[in-house]
Chain A
Amino acid sequence: MSRLQVVSGKGGTGKTTVAAALALALATEGKRTLLVEVEGRQGIAQLFETEALPYEERKIAVSSGGGEVFALAIDAERALLDYLQMFYKLGGAGRALKKLGAIDFATTIAPGVRDVLLTGKACEAVRRRDKLGGYAYDYVVMDAPPTGRITRFLNVNDEVAGLARIGPIHNQAQAVMRVLKSPQTAVHLVTLLEEMPVQETADGVAELHEAGLPVGKVIVNMVRPHLLDEEAVQSAADGRRDEIARVLAAAGLGGAGGGLVGSGATVGASGMGAGAGAGTDAGAGTSGGASGAGAVPGVDGGTGAASLVDPLLEEAAEHAQRVELEREQRAALRRLELDSYELPLLSEGVDLAGLYRLAKDLRKQGAAES
């Protein structure tokens, strides 16, 4: 099992959450995991409901069986000052450099230096040994930049090594590259079952392959349950409204339909079906049928239950359409021929308990097996 696990993904796919869950999953049976953040967003602190992380490794969670998760928000500027101190004993000079704006230059404007420092620090943690000669951390999990930038971010050391053809930066960049391109590293890509994230994942995989960086798993996040298939929706929309209304009324839901709140759902599925791409004919068709027919009069139980039928069918049509789109995206992911993990959408949002649940899901799927 790779000791450096890099987690990337398109914005909005929940890569920070997945990285945190993975760090928890890997920290089983007394294992120690370091979860690092490189974008200065303090996403880890928010997720673990702790105060902002300083530039130091601190324990933020324990896992089942006594495992521990440490976290570190890598700060490029501090990493550079550390680096100067560590290798050149330049603590004082560091301050002078900072005063001159050189540190700022190096970490924000100079090409690649920032990324070299960030990946360098993570690789240092991977290689670090404790006093007994074992690894200080069994695993390092990196919440990395998004898919669109990940290859450049990880590969920057190659470019820098070329730019600085000799000298300590060159050596440092090469050392980092040796870790990143080895089987010690795996780059996981988080996606949703939506077109754009899947497309970005495919592009990202191709770029990583081309750069010779090791691709790990595709992690499909926020998977929603499939509750009703398209056939059922179709059949419900085709003239079975009366029956459904009757069942709803019999189930005591007649009163619930009075005074419906029409917030936005009225523009839900209609109209956009055609724009949403291939394979949506059935969905668009059903939604059209659903919104066209209106309430069913003269049904037992009164109009309360009858007026629920259309909105429920409309929601079902949207669901069926989404299921169809998800099926296409699953097929696209399958074509990448990569192993995958799958994590459910937590309908209450991700809190600490949710994070542990996702970690459990990852373990069940073998994420912690070596």
Chain B
Amino acid sequence: MTLHSPSRAPRAPRAPRDSHSGGLDAADALDAPPSLRIDPLIDDPDTRIIVCCGAGGVGKTTTAAALGVRAAERGRRAVVLTIDPARRLAQSMGIDQLDNVPRRVEGIADPTGRGELHAMMLDMKRTFDEIVEAHADPERARAILENPFYQSLSAGFAGTQEYMAMEKLGQLRARDEWDLIVVDTPPSRSALDFLDAPKRLGSFLDGKFIKVLMAPAKVGGRAGMKFLNVGMSMMTGTLGKLLGGQLLRDVQTFVAAMDTMFGGFRTRADATYRLLQAPGTAFLVVAAPERDALREAAYFVERLAEEEMPLAGLVLNRVHGSGAARLSAERALAAAENLDEGRIVDHMPGKTGVRDVVHDPDDVHDELDEHHEHHVPGLYDAADASPESPSAAADGRAVGHSAEELTAGLLRLHAERMQVLAREQRTRDRFTALHPEVAVAEVAALPGDVHDLAGLRAIGDRLAANDRR
């Protein structure tokens, strides 16, 4: 319970974030992490915001979308805010147009009829523009929108996307049209930029620097601030030298025009930050069972704890399993070799679906590598010459495979699978050793990408399959 003090998680016992009272099954081994229970989390009317964060490429957006679909089909009025969805996923949800407002997703099947799903893709420039338009009189708004410095800032430089994602979240929450908001987070250069950006903006707006930028207008008559004055004149001089006079003027014009709005920015940034800490919010750290992704995940977990953000657990995507896990890679490979040796006597080698390899009976790893080096050369070579190409496949069909050949191939595949399993287990063990308290939901690996509602539904099923473990 290092992550949330009991006073901040006074939830029903079924609440998954309390791993000690509700999340741990008797069946779970002592050292296995507690299961993250997805359905109780998304069913709980007190859960109002779910934030999916994690390294890039781990399936964050897909997880967010799948949670939205599942929540809606279980009766919630849900909205999913995605940042940068894959095109086909966006198309399948009907949000590939950037109009910066949630659209209803068709095809949601909730037997109760209450559930609805809306989805939107963040348009950061538009979000920024709307803030300006909403908080400045028309003339001032136009001055800001036409300022070259503003145009660059809003078009997506460091931190803008993160800030606008949080801004949009605040807006959606304020509208109170949805009882559950699922947020995807930007693929940030550093893990928690989306948390840091509002604060950074705040500290900038409160800082002296902004006063310096405004200096030409204000600095003149201030006695008693000698040090600052020296600093400022040096500053404006330096800035002019560095930026060139015209850019400095652009910046100053921008800052002057934004001046009255800054208070509003800061207030909203603070409010969103507090919203994220509130009990109705649940953070899900998304990862894949790979070293880098889980290292990032560990970092997220630590940062969220530091910021007192409520962590619900870890979603581990793309986990491999095997129905024959008792058969070790070593045994499978040894058996495959024996079969091959028999085959070399009985049959002509080659012309089969099972490829011939150079064997090194002592080293499982080397064997697969050898295999690879021999048979998957350059990209184009492999594509042309692989037995999956029509000609080779036809060849295979014509010749047919002996049961020994087939079985040896199956065993080799199984050995590869078992090696993947072992590697995944090691990386997960490392994470669990660091953060044994974090509840985990595993999602079995799929052979292909997901880009339709049926696929998202299946992911949702897999997410919730942990509930019953």
Chain A residues close to B by CB (< 8 Å):
10-14, 16, 39-41, 43, 46, 84, 88, 90, 93, 96-97, 99-102, 104-105, 108-112, 114-115, 145-146, 148, 152, 156, 159, 163-170, 194-197, 199, 218, 220, 223-232, 235-236, 240, 243-244, 246-248, 251-253, 256-269, 271-277, 280, 283, 308, 310-316, 318-319, 321-325, 327, 330-331, 333-334, 340-342, 344, 346-350, 365
The verdict on B212 contacting chain A, using a C-beta distance below 8 Å, is: yes
5 residue pairs from A and B, CB less than 8 Å apart:
A88-B238, A195-B86, A218-B379, A273-B447, A349-B426
State A246–B451 Cα separation when bound (angstroms). 41
State A96–B404 Cα separation when bound (angstroms). 77
Contact of A167 with B245 in the complex, beta carbons under 8 Å: yes
The verdict on B6 contacting chain A, using a C-beta distance below 8 Å, is: no
A105 to chain B, nearest CB (A): 5
With A12-B290, A145-B189, A311-B323 already in contact, the answer to whether A276 and B446 are too (CB < 8 A) is: yes
Contact of A12 with B57 in the complex, beta carbons under 8 Å: yes
A305 to chain B, nearest CB (A): 10
Contact of B320 with A311 in the complex, beta carbons under 8 Å: no
B276 to chain A, nearest CB (A): 20
Given contacts A88-B241, A253-B327, A349-B291, 19 further A-B pairs with CB under 8 A are A12-B293, A41-B189, A93-B238, A97-B238, A102-B209, A169-B247, A227-B413, A230-B388, A232-B354, A251-B335, A264-B319, A265-B323, A311-B323, A316-B413, A322-B447, A325-B448, A334-B379, A340-B378, A347-B368
A193 to chain B, nearest CB (A): 9
Contact of B387 with A226 in the complex, beta carbons under 8 Å: yes
A244 contact set on B, CB distance < 8 A? 403, 406-407, 410
* Partner among B365, B388, B458 whose Cβ is within 8 Å of the Cβ of A348: B365
B146 to chain A, nearest CB (A): 14
State A94–B291 Cα separation when bound (angstroms). 39
Contact of A256 with B353 in the complex, beta carbons under 8 Å: no
Contact of A111 with B153 in the complex, beta carbons under 8 Å: yes
With A163-B152, A228-B412 already in contact, the answer to whether A199 and B86 are too (CB < 8 A) is: yes
* Partner among B290, B322, B447 whose Cβ is within 8 Å of the Cβ of A263: B322
With A12-B288, A112-B152, A168-B242 already in contact, the answer to whether A231 and B397 are too (CB < 8 A) is: yes
The stretch of B70-78, B105-113, B131-139, B198-206 that contacts the partner chain: B198-206
B371 contact set on A, CB distance < 8 A? 225, 227
Q: Chain B interface residue count: which class?
A: 35 or more
The stretch of B16-24, B170-178, B266-274, B416-424 that contacts the partner chain: B416-424
Contact of A240 with B403 in the complex, beta carbons under 8 Å: yes
Contact of A276 with B209 in the complex, beta carbons under 8 Å: no
Contact of B209 with A167 in the complex, beta carbons under 8 Å: no
Contact of B242 with A264 in the complex, beta carbons under 8 Å: no
For B55, the closest partner residue in chain A by CB is: A11
Flag B417-461 by CB within 8 Å of A: 1 or 0 each. 101100100110000000000000010111111111011001000
Contact of A276 with B388 in the complex, beta carbons under 8 Å: no
B416 contact set on A, CB distance < 8 A? 224-225, 227, 347
B205 to chain A, nearest CB (A): 10
The verdict on B9 contacting chain A, using a C-beta distance below 8 Å, is: no
Contact of B339 with A247 in the complex, beta carbons under 8 Å: yes
